[in-house]
Amino acid sequence: MHKDVERIVRDIKSLKIQGARNVARESINALAMAAKSSKARSAAAFRREISAVAYALSSSRPTEPMMRNLLDEAVRQVGEDAKKQRSVAALARLLVARGNATLAKMDADAKKLATYGAKLIPDGALVLTHCHSSSSTRVMIEAKRMRKEFSVVCFETRPRFQGRTTATELAEAGIDVTLTVDGGMNLFMKKADIVIVGADSVTSRGDLINKIGTATLAHIARMNDVSFYSAAELAKYSPMTIFGTREKIEERDPAEVWDKAPKRVRIRNPAFEATAAKYINGYITEAGVIPPQSFFTLATQKLGIKLYE
């Protein structure tokens, strides 16, 4: 594998590249790099090489269907192209052009999503968020651009402190932001007006898979009658949940929690958890703000998933 592609796989694993969208974008870039640097001598060899790179990327973080969906589609297209086109250089050019189109479409979708989401933030609101989600921060930055007055509390998100990334981004955008400990969720909910988090994955029944701590936030929001939204592009949909397969929850290295833990202390480090659809008021998507029950229909349409022929 090309060394830059290997570096991207490593950076995704180590969370240097984090967040579902960033991971998906970088994986598309990595596939394009692999195509450009391919030494394959036949269309079949090129196709095998691209599939292997896509597999290495997909398995770098198990709970990332957006990356999987985009890579699967790219590999499928290479398969189609290879039936008509024998030149490796031409196949590589097609893959790169499609990758660029995918990235442009992602940008356009992110803009639409941000506009829909920003309208949900009431003037004078206290917004709560968790972890770092580029989709959620875009929503808040767009609300600021619309000249809404609001403040944000974000939770630090142990063990990797993605809350600091959120706080930094929002502060740089001129938004009034407070960073606090994960254990502050209940306390800050009492004054909150709205919760907006991101999404790694959305299942067929509209459940949300997102950073550990998200379900706690959703439950406390419901107890306090605070609206809970997730900013999720439709490509976050996980097709393997159609037949009831559960989205795999990534469990990370225990050393991230405590690198020199005493021998008899067991450490667990789940990165994500599921929040049931019934706690979610809506998903903020590029197609509008939709109830969790509609996500399946819109996402399968958008991704071109056929349930039966």
CB 250, min distance to ligand RUB, A:
8
Residues 12, 66: Cα–Cα separation, whole Å: 14
In terms of residues, how long is the chain? 309
Q: Report d(CA 126, CA 195) in Å as an integer.
A: 9
- Which residues of the chain form contacts with ligand RUB (CB under 6 A)? 15, 18-22, 131-135, 162, 197-200, 210-211, 231, 271
Q: How far is the CB of 78 from ligand RUB (least distance, A)?
A: 25
Nearer to ligand RUB, 210 or 241 (CB): 210
Residue type, 191: K
Q: What is the DSSP string of 194-230?
A: EEEE--SEE-TTS-EEEETTHHHHHHHHHHTT-EEEE
Q: Residue 15 gets which letter from DSSP?
A: T
| Sheet with 282-285, side-by-side order of all strands | 176-180, 150-155, 125-130, 194-197, 227-231, 282-285, 288-290
Instruction: State in angstroms the smallest separation of the CB of 17 from ligand RUB.
Output: 8
d(CA 52, CA 198): 29
Give the CB-nearest residue to ligand RUB: 198
- Cβ–Cβ under 8 Å, residues 58 and 104: no
- In the complex, the smallest distance separating the C-beta of residue 160 from ligand RUB, rounded to whole angstroms, is 6
User: CB-wise, 81 or 233, nearer to ligand RUB?
Assistant: 233
Residue closer to ligand RUB by CB (options 96, 288) is 288
Active-site residue, selected from the candidate residues 81, 109, 154, 200: 200
The candidate with the shortest Cα–Cα distance to 92, out of 136, 46, 129, is: 46
Contact present, 148 and 175 (Cβ < 8 Å): no
Is 200 part of the annotated catalytic residue set?
A: yes
- 72 included as an active-site residue: no
Catalytic residue among 81, 131, 154, 207, which? 131
Whether 229 and 284 have beta carbons less than 8 Å apart is answered as: yes
Give Cα separations from 182 to 156, 161, 166, 295 (angstroms): 6, 10, 14, 29
* 50/170 with CB nearer ligand RUB: 170
Q: Are 256 and 159 in contact (CB under 8 A)?
A: yes
Tokens of 65: 């269907």
- The residue with tokens 């667990």 is 268
Shortest distance (Å) from residue 209 CB to ligand RUB = 9
Q: Would you name the residues annotated as active-site residues? A: 131, 200
